[in-house]
């Protein structure tokens, strides 16, 4: 299966898989990054996948492979519990409005609500207590975990995964100053999520004021992310947990946004841009890697940080010079 070369004891019996730190005798682990050599030397595992050029014999049995991480993943799948499946059909407690279009082998969980005009493609699973709004379309082979809300007229592509607590199509945060308070601006657009997107737990994606908020093909979004109205996220971008993106931001393809970054509205981020964790983005970014608040190129921000850390010594030197000069 892994096409590797064994060194050491080829007959040791393996009963499980674990990380370097957690492995016990009888389990197999993997080592692929030199940073973890010290941890590898301490592991109690009986066997390990190692790189092809790794010469040291550390555990009882070692398997030299081109990609230790990939080989380990294949073994993990062999030891994994059987995947949980949901039978096709509608749970008796689910509420499915007349006229809803359901494809073949659709599964609707307990207490789910499917409103009139909704369309759900072949093989899609709707988890317990999820809500699918009026005239919403969901493609084939999607997985909507329990307690997901997809409001009216949203469009979901094929093979989309929505984790629990996700809200798609809530109103955009739009208000205008008026006499006596704030006047709500109608949010009449939709959310469009293209094929092969995965969205983490408790993430919120607001519907557009008009037009669409658009999550393009292959985007992966972590937990607790806020995406405001009319945002466009380009193909295969990655957004890590707790990111906040204000309205009408346009994000290119292949962009990576680190955790807790904040992005001001009405700007553009070009294809391939990388944004570090906790970065505050207040202007359009045209490629490269950015960090800090406000965002600056990574090399420049690291220089700034180094300067700040040396300020204490600088102050001490200035004080010593002042004392020497009698000031």
Active site residues: 229
State the Cα–Cα distance between residues 53 and 66, nearest whole angstrom: 9
Is the distance from CB of 79 to CB of 28 less than 8 angstroms?
no
Give, for 164, the enclosing helix (H) or strand (E).
none
Angle value at C-alpha 67, between 196 and 161, nearest 5 degrees: 15
**Three-class SS state of 76:** helix
Query: What b/e string do you get for 246-272 counting C-beta neighbours within 10 Å, with b at 16 or more?
Result: bbbbbbbbbbbbbbbbbbbeebebbee
State the Cα–Cα distance between residues 57 and 294, nearest whole angstrom: 49
Is the distance from CB of 20 to CB of 39 less than 8 angstroms?
yes
The pairing of beta strand 181-184 with beta strand 175-178 = antiparallel
Taking the CB of residue 319, how many other CB atoms lie within 10 A of it? Answer: 11
DSSP-derived secondary structure for 173-233: --EEEETTEEEEPP---EEEE-TT-EE-TT-EEEPPSSSEEEE-TT-EE-SS-EE-TT-EE
């Amino acid at each position: 299966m892994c096409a590797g070369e064994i060194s050491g004891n080829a007959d040791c019996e393996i009963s499980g898989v674990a990380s370097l730190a957690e492995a016990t005798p009888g389990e197999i682990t993997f080592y692929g990054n030199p940073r973890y050599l010290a941890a590898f030397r301490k592991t109690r595992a009986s066997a390990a996948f190692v790189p092809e050029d790794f010469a040291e014999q550390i555990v009882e049995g070692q398997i030299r492979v081109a990609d230790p991480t990939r080989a380990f993943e294949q073994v993990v799948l062999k030891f994994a519990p059987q995947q949980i499946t949901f039978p096709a059909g509608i749970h008796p407690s689910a509420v499915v409005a007349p006229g809803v279009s359901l494809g073949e082998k659709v599964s609707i969980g307990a207490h789910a609500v499917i409103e009139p005009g909704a369309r759900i493609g072949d093989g899609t699973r709707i988890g317990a207590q999820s809500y699918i709004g009026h005239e919403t379309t969901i493609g084939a082979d999607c997985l909507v975990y329990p307690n997901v809300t997809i409001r009216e007229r949203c469009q979901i592509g094929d093979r989309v995964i929505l984790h629990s607590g996700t809200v798609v199509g809530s109103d955009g945060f739009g208000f205008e100053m008026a006499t006596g308070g704030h006047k709500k601006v109608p949010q009449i657009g939709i959310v469009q999520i293209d094929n092969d997107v995965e969205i983490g737990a408790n993430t919120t994606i607001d519907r557009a004021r008009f037009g669409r908020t658009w999550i393009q093909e292959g985007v992966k979004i972590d937990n607790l992310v806020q995406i405001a109205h009319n945002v466009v996220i380009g193909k295969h971008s990655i957004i890590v947990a707790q990111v906040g993106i204000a309205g009408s931001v346009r994000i290119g393809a292949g962009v990576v946004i680190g955790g807790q970054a904040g992005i001001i509205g009405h700007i553009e981020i070009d294809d391939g841009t990388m944004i570090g964790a906790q970065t505050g983005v207040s202007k359009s970014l045209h490629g490269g890697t950015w960090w800090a608040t406000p965002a600056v190129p990574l090399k420049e921000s690291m220089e700034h940080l180094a300067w700040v850390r040396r300020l204490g010594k600088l102050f001490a030197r200035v004080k010593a010079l002042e004392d020497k000069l009698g000031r």
